[in-house]
Amino acid sequence: MPHERTDAVFIAGTDTGVGKTYVSCALLHALRAQGFRAVGMKPVASGCMATPAGLRNDDALALIAASDPCPPYATCNPFAFTEAVSPHLAAADDRTEVRMAPIKAAFARLTDSAEVVLVEGVGGWLAPLSSTLQANALPQALGLPVILVVGLRLGCLNHAQLTARAILADGCSLLGWIGNAVDPTMDRRDDNLDTLRRLLPAPCLGVLDHAADAAATPALATAVAAICRPPP
């Protein structure tokens, strides 16, 4: 596995729909507020709109809008697929296959243009990308530490522990986790947060109210410090 970088981080999620893009955009705003040139990347995206300029994904567009400098679309999202299904199925439907070389090349261009790069995963930790690749191959190939987004809803205690265990078993560093209140009616949310803090093998880097403005980021000061820590 490549040496892990301290100027780039992989944003993983306990599942699909837990708010990886929302948290990534909030982190980009927080980093920029601290004076960093920060850009987002969505290497693989399923569920794209056909436009005159090509396929476009809402998550990738949100990352670009939150970035400074704003990367070209194809650099932010090298693999864009039409159908909103698992990437390996969407890629097959579009008669292509996710390959790591174009992702590495796009990532290198981003690191040349910015001080911090946030690479957002797709689905959960083991979402299939092709017949030979899963989502965990992205941080492994790029040498990235991981921040885990935990969607705060029923079942999150189990999903968060399993994902954290898999991240560490795959040889990646877990910088910490961020809670995202995807279910505003979740019973005993504070008690669940206390349980996550006790059970997960990494610190809580922030908790976000999913309905809040993504630019309001004081809750993520700890996460920014973790991402931008000086190299040892």
Domain presence at residue 161: yes
Domain presence at residue 13: yes
Domain count, the chain: 1
pTM for this predicted structure? 0.94
| pLDDT the model gives residue 209 | 85
| pLDDT the model gives residue 232 | 46
Domain presence at residue 201: yes
Q: Assign residue 91 the CATH number of its domain.
A: 3.40.50.300
Distances (CA, A) of 225 to 19, 176, 212, 218, 219: 21, 11, 22, 12, 12
Q: The tokens of 130 are what? A: 């092709």
Quote the domain boundaries for residue 203: 8-227
Reference 98, options 43, 48, 141; nearest CA is 43
Domain presence at residue 3: no
Q: List the catalytic residue out of 20, 29, 32, 42.
A: 42
Is 42 among the residues known to form the active site? yes
Domain presence at residue 2: no
Per-residue pLDDT of the chain (232 residues; tens, 9 = 90+): 555 665 899 999 999 999 999 999 999 999 999 999 999 999 999 999 999 999 999 999 999 999 999 999 999 999 999 999 999 999 999 999 999 999 999 999 999 999 999 999 999 999 999 999 999 999 999 999 999 999 999 999 999 999 999 999 999 999 999 999 999 999 999 999 999 999 999 999 999 986 666 555 678 989 999 998 754 4
| pLDDT the model gives residue 211 | 63
